[in-house]
Structure 1
Amino acid sequence: MSARLSEYSHDGLTFDVRDSGPLDGPVVVALHGFPQTSRSWAGVTPHLTRAGRRVLAPDQRGYSPRARPRAVAAYALPHLVGDVLALADAAGAERFDVLGHDWGGGVAWALAAAHPDRVRSLTVASTPHPRALVAAMPHGQALRSWYMAVFQLPWLPERLLGEPRVVRRLLGSMGTPDVDAVQALLADRDAARATLGWYRAAARSVVRGGGPGAVAVPTTYVWSDGDPALGRWAAERTGAWVSADYRFEVLDGVSHWIPDERPEELARLALDRMTSVEVP
């Protein structure tokens, strides 16, 4: 049995992690998105741990204070995927379940596509498969993703995100939960630059035609019809990128922040997926 983790290392970086539940339980890695941290899983985790799961929720690259490299290339998906594998290795988990939201969902898709031997099951909230998302751009997604283009500008986005009034107006309009915590994170210029690195590295990958391929892992995708950032076109076509058992769940009247608004329901859907796969 491995010891409880509070941090782990990869690529010369040190990551903070929340480790909850029985140490001998099947491992679930929960990956947060932008602009949140591992705290975003606070409502979901107790439901999973009561079901006997060990939940590892890291503050990902750029969010952990000791894991903020300066180069944009350091935030490319292969590095983000490597961070998750290093966490699983530190916990002694040869195979594990993955739960992701927002950008954490993007990492989850890439992880499952590249390492089906490690990922036992996949549950993604909000984020469609990246290839479906790119294909959706001419079908209304580009208008929803306007901020991604703004984030490509040098230095200006970091400066704007460091302004409390700007953050409150932008995130408040999107219904972002825990605005105070988000504001505190982005007020740190290094943190703002690092979290924006995810968007900048992704844009370079799209230009090169990169991105994860099809997923051969049992998968549940949870989308909400009140999501202002991610539309139905990509959501309905995500299943084309999963070759294993696939379930598409739609939450009515829910915004983008599914783990915060419907933690119990998301946990139930994730556990349904996890228990559909035999734990060795």
Structure 2
Amino acid sequence: MDTYTRDGLTFDVTDSGAQDAPVIVLLHGFPQDRQAWEKVAPQLVEAGYRVLAPDQRGYSPGATPRSRTAYPLSELARDVIALIDAAGAPTAHVVGHDWGGAVIWQLAQAHPNRIASATTLSTPHPEALMWAMRHSNQWRKSSYMAFFQLPWIAERGVLRQLPEMYVKTGMSPEDAQKYADRFATPRSLSGPLGWYRSMLAGQLRAALPSRKQASGPRRARKVTVPMSYVWGSRDFALGREAAEKSAEFVSGPYEFVEVKGAGHWLPEVNADEVVEAVLRRVR
């Protein structure tokens, strides 16, 4: 399978391993694409799994809506469910890094019957992240999100920083260059930045008064599927406070894996540790 479709969108996907093997779905982050898993996927295939690595919404040329409201986590998760359906699998193990990790938390909460296990890399539970924004310096680490809301300007600002941004934050020059080649124009970054812009639009909608809110504050539903969270102790974007807080939002089997000295780009830089954590969870 090279592509799959949902609601008129066509997603590119790398499908490797035996077709009848248990399925592992790998979800990349920002600004990355399915190339993020080039050091991880072969090891999972060798371990006996069918591995699906899609270019997600905004990254696949045939699945890049223009609207800033087209990228809510609910829709991004349904894109993954459509991939699992296209693979003919009743359930799948899911792994995600960065924004892909945010999709993992959404999948685990909204579609637990389709998720055999979940592993998130770098990304804390969204409620833990919001808590850390109020109780730590996470708001400083996340301040770039405000700049990303600016149309036209943000695309060009990010483009000017590539590939140096990747290298300065721990990625090899070789991996950094392949992403710089992938995101070589402002237009190539509009879809990826749509994730951030849709997030803000969703938060603004949630802030509007409603009857549901009148009954009291919303409580996050806890994750019940088997879950692992892998975090690098030197992550420049996501701090320890949110990482440790995430355990409070999981009621099922859970493992927190801290990779000492690791930064943010875990799939590219710490592939062996990622594979070890994933295999321990899926088995």
Q: Which moved more, 1:126-135 or 1:259-268?
A: 259-268
Distance in 1 of aligned mates of 2:249 and 2:11: 31
Q: Give CA-to-partner distance per residue, 1:190-215, whole Å, 9 cap, x none.
A: 22111000011112223426997421
RMSD: 1.6
Matching of residue 105 in structure 1 with residue 101 in structure 2: yes
**What is the CA-CA distance between 1:246 and the residue it aligns to?**
0.6
Q: Which moved more, 1:189-198 or 1:168-177?
A: 168-177
2:143 to 133, 141, 146: 146
Instruction: Tell me, yes or no, if the aligned pair for 1:113 and 1:212 is still in contact at 8 Å.
Output: no
Compared with structure 1, are the counterparts of its residues 169 and 46 closer, same or farther at alpha carbon in structure 2 (3 Å cutoff)?
closer
Matching of residue 68 in structure 1 with residue 64 in structure 2: yes
User: What one-letter code is carried by the residue in structure 2 that aligns with 1:146?
Assistant: S
User: What one-letter code is carried by the residue in structure 1 that aligns with 2:15?
Assistant: D
Q: Give CA-to-partner distance per residue, 1:28-73, whole Å, 9 cap, x none.
A: 1100000111111111112211111100000001111111110011
Matching of residue 170 in structure 1 with residue 171 in structure 2: no
Distance in 2 of aligned mates of 1:124 and 1:78: 17
Compared with structure 1, are the counterparts of its residues 69 and 17 closer, same or farther at alpha carbon in structure 2 (3 Å cutoff)?
same
User: What one-letter code is carried by the residue in structure 2 that aligns with 1:81?
Assistant: A
Question: What is the number of residues matched between the two proteins?
Answer: 269
Instruction: Tell me, yes or no, if the aligned pair for 1:68 and 1:191 is still in contact at 8 Å.
Output: no
Instruction: Tell me, yes or no, if the aligned pair for 1:130 and 1:211 is still in contact at 8 Å.
Output: no
Q: Which moved more, 1:197-206 or 1:169-178?
A: 169-178
User: What one-letter code is carried by the residue in structure 2 that aligns with 1:170?
Assistant: M
**What is the CA-CA distance between 1:262 and the residue it aligns to?**
1.5
Distance in 2 of aligned mates of 1:187 and 1:157: 14
Instruction: Tell me, yes or no, if the aligned pair for 2:92 and 2:115 is still in contact at 8 Å.
Output: yes
Matching of residue 18 in structure 1 with residue 2 in structure 2: no
Residue 186 (structure 1) aligns with = 183
TM-score by length of 1: 0.92
Matching of residue 230 in structure 1 with residue 225 in structure 2: no
Residue 257 (structure 1) aligns with = 265
Instruction: Tell me, yes or no, if the aligned pair for 2:37 and 2:53 is still in contact at 8 Å.
Output: yes
Matching of residue 53 in structure 1 with residue 49 in structure 2: yes
Compared with structure 1, are the counterparts of its residues 212 and 263 closer, same or farther at alpha carbon in structure 2 (3 Å cutoff)?
farther
2:199 to 192, 199, 202: 202
Q: For residue 26 of structure 2, give the secondary structure of its aligned residue in structure 1.
A: strand
Distance in 1 of aligned mates of 2:43 and 2:219: 32
**What is the CA-CA distance between 1:149 and the residue it aligns to?**
1.3
**What is the CA-CA distance between 1:22 and the residue it aligns to?**
1.0
Distance in 1 of aligned mates of 2:162 and 2:221: 34
Residue 253 (structure 2) aligns with = 245
User: What one-letter code is carried by the residue in structure 2 that aligns with 1:173?
Assistant: K
Compared with structure 1, are the counterparts of its residues 80 and 233 closer, same or farther at alpha carbon in structure 2 (3 Å cutoff)?
same
Distance in 2 of aligned mates of 1:65 and 1:143: 33
Structure 1 unmatched runs, 5+? 276-280
**What is the CA-CA distance between 1:82 and the residue it aligns to?**
1.1
User: What one-letter code is carried by the residue in structure 2 that aligns with 1:102?
Assistant: D
Q: For residue 268 of structure 2, give the secondary structure of its aligned residue in structure 1.
A: helix
Distance in 1 of aligned mates of 2:168 and 2:196: 20
Q: Give CA-to-partner distance per residue, 1:201-258, whole Å, 9 cap, x none.
A: 1122234269974211010101110101000000001011111011111000111011
Residue 278 (structure 1) aligns with = none
Q: For residue 80 of structure 1, give the secondary structure of its aligned residue in structure 2.
A: helix
Q: Which moved more, 1:206-215 or 1:131-140?
A: 206-215
Compared with structure 1, are the counterparts of its residues 104 and 29 closer, same or farther at alpha carbon in structure 2 (3 Å cutoff)?
same
Structure 2 unmatched runs, 5+? 208-217
Q: For residue 240 of structure 1, give the secondary structure of its aligned residue in structure 2.
A: helix
Compared with structure 1, are the counterparts of its residues 197 and 211 closer, same or farther at alpha carbon in structure 2 (3 Å cutoff)?
farther
Instruction: Tell me, yes or no, if the aligned pair for 2:171 and 2:269 is still in contact at 8 Å.
Output: no
Matching of residue 157 in structure 1 with residue 165 in structure 2: no
**What is the CA-CA distance between 1:131 and the residue it aligns to?**
1.0
Distance in 2 of aligned mates of 1:168 and 1:206: 31
* Percent identical residues: 47
